[in-house]
Amino acid sequence: MMNRRTLGVNFEAGIAEILLWVPQAEQVSIRPDTGNDLLLEQKTRGYWQMRTGELRPGMNYHVVIDGETWPDIHSLYQPDGVHGASSAFDVSGMKWTDQRWENIPLQNYLIYELHTGTFTPEGTFDGIAKKLDYLAALGITAIELMPVAQFPGDRNWGYDGVFPYAVHNSYGGPAALQQLVDQCHRKGLAVILDVVYNHIGPEGNYFGKYGPFFTEKYKTPWGNAINFDDAGCDEVRRYFIENALMWCRDFHVDALRLDAVHAIKDFSPVHVLKELTLALNDLKQCTGKSHYLIAECDLNDHRFIDPLKEGGYGLDSQWIDEFHHALRISAGGKREGYYGDFHGIEDLGAAFEHAYVYHGRYSEHRQKTFGTDPVENQGQQFVVFSQNHDQVGNRMLGERSSALFNFEMQKLMAASVMVSPFLPMLFMGEEYAESNPFLYFVSHTDSELITAVQKGRKAEFEAFHTEGDAPDPQDENTFHRSKLQWEKIGSGTHRTMFNYYQALLNLRKSHPVLRVPDRRNMEVISNKINNTLLLTRWSNEKKIHCLLNFSTRDRECMLPAFKENVSIIFNSASAEWGGPVINNDAFLSSSLIVIPAQSILIFEEYV
Fill in the amino acid letter for 519. Answer: R
Fill in the amino acid letter for 255. Answer: A
CA atoms within 13 A on the CB side of 263: 17
Annotated binding site for substrate: 257-262, 321-325, 389-394
**Which residue intervals of 187-320 are DSSP H helices?**
233-250, 272-287
**Residues 149, 165: contact at Cβ < 8 Å?**
yes
* Cα 233–chain centre separation: 27
Query: 272-287 and 233-250 helices cross at what angle (nearest 10)?
Result: 40
For residue 420, what are the CA distances in angstroms to 1, 281, 323, 395, 569?
A: 40, 29, 10, 25, 16
Question: Which DSSP string corresponds to 558-570?
Answer: EPTT--SSEEEEE
Q: How far apart are CA 549 and CA 565, in angstroms?
A: 24
Q: How far apart are CA 38 and CA 51, in angstroms?
A: 10
Annotated binding site: 257-262, 321-325, 389-394
**Residues 496, 431: contact at Cβ < 8 Å?**
no
Active-site entry in 259, 266, 316, 430 = 259
**Residues 555, 594: contact at Cβ < 8 Å?**
yes
- 316 catalytic, yes or no? no
Output the CA torsion sign for 509, 511, 516, 522.
negative
Q: In what helix (H) or strand (E) does residue 182 lie, and over which residues does it extend?
A: helix 173-186
Q: How far apart are CA 163 and CA 151, in angstroms?
A: 7
Q: How far apart are CA 45 and CA 291, in angstroms?
A: 31
**Residues 64, 31: contact at Cβ < 8 Å?**
yes
Output the CA torsion sign for 374, 380, 384, 390.
negative
- The DSSP code for 168 is P
Contacts of 244 by beta carbon, 8 Å cutoff, 6+ apart: 195, 256, 276, 279, 280
Q: Does residue 588 sit in helix, strand or coil?
A: helix
Q: Does residue 309 sit in helix, strand or coil?
A: helix
**Residues 236, 21: contact at Cβ < 8 Å?**
no
* Cα 214–chain centre separation: 25
- 462 catalytic, yes or no? no
Active-site entry in 113, 182, 250, 296 = 296
**Among the listed residues 214, 68, 74, 80, the one whose alpha carbon sits nearest the alpha carbon of residue 154:** 80
Q: How far apart are CA 279 and CA 244, in angstroms?
A: 9
For residue 176, what are the CA distances in angstroms to 9, 86, 90, 330, 369?
A: 19, 17, 13, 42, 47
Residues with catalytic function: 259, 296
